[in-house]
Structure 1
């Protein structure tokens, strides 16, 4: 065998050996792709909190717990199909722990349960997903509704018993929305005259809330209602805009989330209250649960209660409390906690901020 033939044969053997080795290496890489990865899927980017707070806090906390860990992130932008593609992609990569805030809690049921059979542990974050979830981190949402109802009664004062109230509830696809509504009704029912209009607003749409509020104004007149309950601040912004367009003042509007525009409306007097849910403890707890599940550690010390969906009961859970924020305590809550900078809050509201002791 001459040298040329030997070199050709040697090269062919090397290539034939390299091919299965390369394939084996790829399989090993794919099989271990999720070893240090945690998936994070958030539902939308209309609300300020998800990109500015939840994502950053969760990512930062995981990094502090695990230098080698990677957060594989996706935002569904309110689209169920987009979230499904993101979820399926994480499972295909081999990610074994996913923090999921579902766009539609019912729609994810089959994805979550199917993934669980493959050893994927899903942490339902902020909203309780259907399916075989491993843990749940959120707030006590019925209590939040109760806080909203109590704040509305405070706003109405001695006139509560004769008050007619408008209620704009949250999206029917959000499992938190019925809890807010139930909590609010448990406080308001029997304490006010009546609810003259009530509507669940799809996708928490501010534009839809504004249109529905305009319809109420046209149907009942400027004096036909005494207060407006809004399940969140985004919708409260649409409601406040409708009231302003109709030149209606001094009608208490309540919301939730302590978003900057809502806090500015509190300062300006066009929104009476919001609900402050400190995102940090919720996000950091979800991050630590995810890390512990990834490493096969106990989460018992982090989950102080249990929850249940239509698929599973006894889900380890952690539910945090929230607080009402009004003009009176704004300085001692969200400002003190650094949720909002005074210079941003008081832009174009210098005199009103000064009267509240914020300059």
Structure 2
């Protein structure tokens, strides 16, 4: 196990800057997820660590060792790819054992390590099969087993579950998390899937356009997004984002949303400035059909007409609008039996972002 340090990393392909600035330390034994949309630089950063891409500038350390010029095969890292990358002519046993054979390990020791990994990953009945005889999930477990037996300093995962169906992804997420609990190996996992990030990570690094948008625990990035991008990227369905204005009236501050004047929550008042253009963010689950579980001084009631409904099973998404802007509400399906509703906005759960910088106004 080892910590990983990225120091002022940059990566360019010709005139295109893919990773513009990346400074981050992964602690020894930590499970960190690099999360972001396509093209944000997350896989490129992982590939620079693995030695599969050169570094334009900056330094990467594994433990106390600078690895910029160390060959990929000598970095003591194990990578699991989206494409599995198994040898089709080899059995499961041979695929897992291959890296150990290259190291010159004794056959008896190889057999011990392969069978130990196969037992942990429930691959024992499949050791004599070829990859073409396996399901997608089984192939991914073989790829994980091949990485495990190398006992690397760091595990690297590059969108390993993207080719699997939704149910199998859930199973594999739990297996990867259990694997980390048992091995306690430093792990860096790249994905564009926020569910994978939220369920697996000790900390999440959210990237946008080659920069780090926010670093935090899953709870931090969900409950305290640092900017508008993170607020809308994390959470499904996405956070509602409404154009508004901060105004003062009768010696009090309000959020003006069309004709609606919403009392400014106390936690924002120290940062308030008159006539500030902002975005009001509220998650669909923080708008309620009734207010009995919320202090009435901390809710804002308003009436809407429902334009569309999307049934999700136990819950339902209501598509409506406020002040001419789209608004999504998620609530229990059994509660909705009319097209006109009175809704209650939970003021304790709203987020405010500066309209120009898009940064959060919360302290």
Q: TM-score range by the shorter chain?
A: under 0.3
Higher strand share: 2
Higher helix share: 1
TM-score (structure 1 length as normaliser): 0.26
